[in-house]
């Protein structure tokens, strides 16, 4: 583990989605470049992130002051578009700046850390965080959340997923745990790992490519929490569509079903 790099945005007044649960989302923004576009579109990036309206948002392919993003600090752009506190984990230096993943939270952060994931090729990371200390049943206070973007090599990605889920659950120490991100894996590869780790997946349709999605590679995975609803949004600033879910803590029994079908859903 390495210390967190880059915290942006003052902690705002907590405004949860309501007693029905917490709205979480994951979005791969591809440095703000829409599908088919030659370069990034900062206005469209801000509009897309603002329309997601999440209490907890994981963002992948975030650029910080790279030439391809026009020198823009997209970590600051995420904070300004959402009104959330944002933390950033660089995976690598790229094109004069940094490239990595981010987490945004309506209840701020108690702590966060960067986990370097195993595997060859491009360095991949997971940003793991303990969210703010508000323990209300209707907010994400005290939850443990991760944002990640895994390898395009399926075998490596499965190994990285196992490592990320194990580390996230250890950090959670009995609290609700969520992993959000672009796993570059479809359901048949993800489902067995969920069974092993005791996580469940929010139901989802395909998320990539954005114009006519055919692949389900963006995921919301939960443990000691339940998914009330989920949907793929028809808004985008990249080649992925955002996946959002409403989740809540498990009931007093503390049990969560971990049996999933080949699509990664609870039967």
pLDDT at residue number 257? 38
CB atoms < 10 A from the CB of 24, how many?
29
Q: Is the pLDDT of residue 41 over 80?
A: yes
HSE, side-chain direction, 13 A CA sphere, residue 157: 19
55-82 confidence digits (pLDDT tens): 999 999 999 999 999 999 999 999 999 9
Give 255's pLDDT tier (boundaries 50, 70, 90): very low
pLDDT at residue number 16? 37
Give all domains of the chain, ordered by start, each with its CATH number. 2-14+21-249 (3.60.10.10)
pTM of the model: 0.87
CA distance 80 to 46: 8
153-197 confidence digits (pLDDT tens): 999 999 999 999 999 999 999 999 999 999 999 999 999 999 999
Give which of 156, 165, 164, 162 is closest to 121, Cα–Cα: 156
86-126 confidence digits (pLDDT tens): 999 999 999 999 999 999 999 999 999 999 999 989 999 99
pLDDT at residue number 133? 74
CA distance 127 to 220: 15
- Per DSSP, the three-state class of 93 is strand
């Amino acid at each position: 583990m390495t210390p967190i790099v880059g915290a942006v945005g003052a902690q705002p007044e907590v405004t949860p989605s309501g007693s029905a649960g917490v709205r979480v989302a994951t979005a791969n923004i591809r440095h703000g470049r829409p599908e088919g576009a030659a370069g990034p579109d900062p206005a469209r990036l801000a509009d897309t992130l603002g329309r997601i309206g999440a209490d907890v948002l994981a963002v992948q392919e975030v650029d910080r002051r790279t030439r391809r993003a026009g020198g823009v600090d997209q970590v600051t752009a995420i904070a300004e578009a959402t009104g959330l506190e944002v933390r950033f984990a660089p995976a690598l230096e790229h094109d004069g700046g940094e490239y990595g993943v981010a987490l945004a939270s309506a209840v701020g952060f108690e702590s966060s850390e960067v986990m370097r994931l195993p595997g060859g090729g491009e360095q991949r990371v997971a940003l793991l965080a303990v969210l703010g200390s508000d323990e209300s049943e209707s907010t994400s206070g005290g939850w443990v959340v991760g944002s990640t973007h895994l390898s395009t090599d399926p075998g490596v990605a499965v190994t990285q997923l196992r490592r990320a889920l194990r580390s996230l659950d250890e950090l959670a120490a009995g609290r609700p745990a969520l992993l959000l991100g672009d796993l570059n894996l479809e359901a048949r590869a993800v489902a067995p790992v969920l069974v092993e780790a005791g996580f469940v997946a929010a139901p989802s349709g395909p998320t990539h490519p954005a114009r006519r999605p055919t692949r389900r590679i963006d995921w919301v995975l939960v443990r000691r929490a339940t998914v009330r609803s989920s949907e793929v949004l028809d808004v985008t600033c990249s080649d992925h569509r955002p996946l959002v879910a409403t989740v809540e803590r498990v009931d007093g029994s503390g049990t969560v079903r971990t049996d999933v079908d080949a699509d990664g859903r609870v039967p």
